[in-house]
Amino acid sequence: MTQESPSSDPAADALHALSQETLWMLAVRDTRDKVAFAALFDHFAPRLKGFIMRSGTGSGQAEEIVQDVMLTVWRKSAMFDPQRAQVSGWIYQIARNRQIDVIRKENRPVPEELHADQATEPDAQQMLGLEQEACKLKTAIGRLKPDQREMIEKAYLGELTHQEIKSQTGLPLGTIKSRIRLGLEKLRHELKDMRSDG
Amino acid sequence: MAEITHHIPDHVLAAYATGSLSEPYALVVATHLSMCLECRANYEAHQMLGGAVLEMASTEALSGDLKTGVMAMLDTPVVPQPAHSRSGIYPGPVMAALKGRPPRWKSLGLGVRQCILTGNSEGSVRLLYIPPGQAVPDHGHNGLELTLVLQGSFVDETGRFDVGDAEVADQDLEHTPVAEAGPPCICLAATDAPLRFNAFVPRLLQPIFRI
Ligand SMILES: [Zn+2]
């Protein structure tokens, strides 16, 4: 085999290039793989606990939230769509929702879930494109000045009020938005034709 | 078919994604996100940024038995909580706030009705039912006001708002939204006005508004 020979299966190559976390999550979703779940737990649970404790929650309550979040990851794995989300972003939202339910005793309103169309093949290039955007995003955060970076962290930890967020200039998310939009357009759902069936 | 033209501003989506928006506003945002592809993509981009922050969070050591406990619970059967699905013009988040039942309207006079969904000292959110040609009730608000059209349409000094459109007003905006001809305008409105039954009063229109 020479270097120039084209790959026989570009889709398989792209799947191979996905991050470890995505592959674990897909194994949990598609084959209920407990070994993969244990790997996800080892990766995310200590980070989740650190993340939750930073906003002032004690160790015991933080662990209760970590447990709820990780069980939700297992039970709702069918909702994970790698064409629209990274595992970390998906878990982030589950964690924030749970924190709000527990700490504010509010039932946080959530949007309707959008189900990936089972009939369509997952688009590996789309998944890979999203991962590349996630990498660029992490690099961009790493390059921020310390005070800017702290502001981003505070905002996403839920430590800033809406007014404080409004006065900050966030990171430019334009290319990520267009990439996620491509992923959303692959779904068949009611968002596309809200006004046509009214 | 017309596209949604009035969206949720990015700072409001960011506040919703990070969990710093109070429940009344969060309900309006969650409802718009159930109707609008563009804002859904923007919201999911904020989730991705939140995920990056989570990835970079410093780790905390876990109690020895936490993982064992979670692993042991994976096979425990759970009764899934019923998700409220869309019903007619009401998207899932509104149906959840209505606890799956149709709205119980209360008359405010002049054919205008309201159904309060939730409220506390920080604000309230309600459904409003405005017959064609009537004005959306007036009320005091000091900060953010979010209004989302679920049926019909209204116009005011800033433009025309059709199904799915969201109007974001702050205290600087003096506006008089009026329901257009056609089916009654039903919208979801969140304000920081405290929850009082008479917080909304129908306003009498000048005759310049014609149906
Ligand atoms: Zn929108």
Smallest Cβ–Cβ distance between B59 and the set A47, A137, A177 belongs to: A47
Which residues in A lie closer than 8 A to residue B51 (C-beta atoms)? 85-92, 134
Phi/psi for A62 (5° steps) reads -60, -40
Q: Which of A98, A122, A146 is the last residue of a domain?
A: A122
Residue B99 belongs to a domain: yes
Mention every residue, 6+ apart, whose C-beta is less than 8 A from residue B108.
B114, B137, B200, B201, B202
ipTM: 0.89
- Determine the Cα–Cα distance for residues A190 and A134; give it in Å rounded to an integer: 27
- Determine the Cα–Cα distance for residues B150 and B170; give it in Å rounded to an integer: 21
Smallest Cβ–Cβ distance between B164 and the set A74, A166, A194 belongs to: A194
The range of the structural domain enclosing residue A51 comes to 18-122
A54 Cβ under 8 Å from any chain B Cβ? yes
Amino acid at B118: T
pLDDT(B82) > 70: yes
Dmax (CA) for chain A in angstroms is: 62
Higher pLDDT pick, B135 / A117 = B135
Q: Give the distance (Å) from ligand 1 centre to CA of residue B35.
A: 8
Q: Determine the residue of chain A that is closest to B85 in CA distance.
A: A112
Q: Which of A95, A122, A149 is the last residue of a domain?
A: A122
Q: Give the distance (Å) from ligand 1 centre to CA of residue B170.
A: 18
Query: Domain with A34 in it: what CATH number?
Result: 1.10.1740.10
pLDDT for A46-98, tens place per residue? 999 999 999 889 999 999 999 999 999 999 999 999 999 999 999 999 999 99
pLDDT for the residue numbered B123: 84
Q: Residue-wise over A53-68: b if at least 16 C-beta within 10 A, else e?
A: bbeebeeeebbbbbbb
Q: Of the candidates A98, A140, A84, which has an alpha carbon nearest to the alpha carbon of residue B53?
A: A140
pLDDT for the residue numbered B210: 34
Same domain, A118 and A140: no
Which residues in B lie closer than 8 A to residue A173 (C-beta atoms)? 42, 45-46, 48-49
CB B95 within 8 A of CB B141: no
- Determine the Cα–Cα distance for residues A70 and B96; give it in Å rounded to an integer: 24
Same domain, A113 and A133: no
The range of the structural domain enclosing residue B172 comes to 1-79+91-211
- Most confident listed range (A142-146, B98-102, B156-160): B98-102
Q: Give the distance (Å) from ligand 1 centre to CA of residue B21.
A: 17
pLDDT band at A1 (very low <50, low <70, confident <90, very high): very low
Least confident range from A128-132, B32-36, B137-141, B165-169: namely: B137-141
* CB-based contact B53 A67, cutoff 8 Å: no
**pLDDT, averaged across chain B:** 87
Token code pair at residue B101: 């039942």
Same domain, A24 and A107: yes
Residue A13 belongs to a domain: no
Residue A9 belongs to a domain: no
pLDDT band at B206 (very low <50, low <70, confident <90, very high): very low
Query: Domain with A165 in it: what CATH number?
Result: 1.10.10.10
CB A153 within 8 A of CB B18: no
Same domain, A183 and A143: yes
Residue A1 belongs to a domain: no
SS3 track for B23-68: HHHHHHHHHHHCCCHHHHHHHHHHHHHHHHHHHHCCCCCCCCCHHH
Same domain, A118 and A25: yes
Residue B60 belongs to a domain: yes
3-state secondary structure (DSSP) of residue B208: coil
Residue A184 belongs to a domain: yes
HSE-CB at A127 with a 13 A cutoff on CA atoms is 22
Residue B171 belongs to a domain: yes
pLDDT for B143-184, tens place per residue? 788 999 999 999 988 899 999 999 998 777 677 889 999 999
- Determine the Cα–Cα distance for residues A182 and A43; give it in Å rounded to an integer: 29
pLDDT for the residue numbered B119: 81
Q: Determine the residue of chain A that is closest to B163 in CA distance.
A: A195
Mention every residue, 6+ apart, whose C-beta is less than 8 A from residue B162.
A195, B2, B4, B5, B149, B153
Query: Domain with B5 in it: what CATH number?
Result: 2.60.120.10
Amino acid at B86: R
**pLDDT, averaged across chain A:** 86
Same domain, A57 and A134: no
Same domain, A116 and A129: no
Q: Determine the residue of chain A that is closest to B90 in CA distance.
A: A198
Residue A12 belongs to a domain: no
Residue A83 belongs to a domain: yes
Q: How many domains would you assign to chain B?
A: 1
Same domain, A44 and A118: yes
Residue A2 belongs to a domain: no
Same domain, A55 and A111: yes
pLDDT for B34-71, tens place per residue? 999 999 999 999 999 999 999 998 999 999 999 999 99
Same domain, A118 and A145: no
* CB-based contact A158 B162, cutoff 8 Å: no
* CB-based contact B50 A193, cutoff 8 Å: no
pLDDT(B118) > 80: yes
Q: Determine the residue of chain B that is closest to A108 in CA distance.
A: B23
Q: pLDDT > 90: what percent of chain B?
A: 66
A1 Cβ under 8 Å from any chain B Cβ? no
pLDDT for B5-27, tens place per residue? 999 999 999 999 999 998 999 99
Same domain, A157 and A180: yes
Residue B172 belongs to a domain: yes
Distance from CA of B54 to the nearest CA of A (A): 7
* CB-based contact A63 B96, cutoff 8 Å: no
A102 Cβ under 8 Å from any chain B Cβ? no
Residue B63 belongs to a domain: yes
Q: Of the candidates B192, B49, B116, which has an alpha carbon nearest to the alpha carbon of residue A177?
A: B49
Q: How many domains would you assign to chain A?
A: 2
Residue B85 belongs to a domain: no
Residue A11 belongs to a domain: no
- Determine the Cα–Cα distance for residues B65 and B71; give it in Å rounded to an integer: 10
Same domain, A133 and A195: yes
A80 Cβ under 8 Å from any chain B Cβ? no
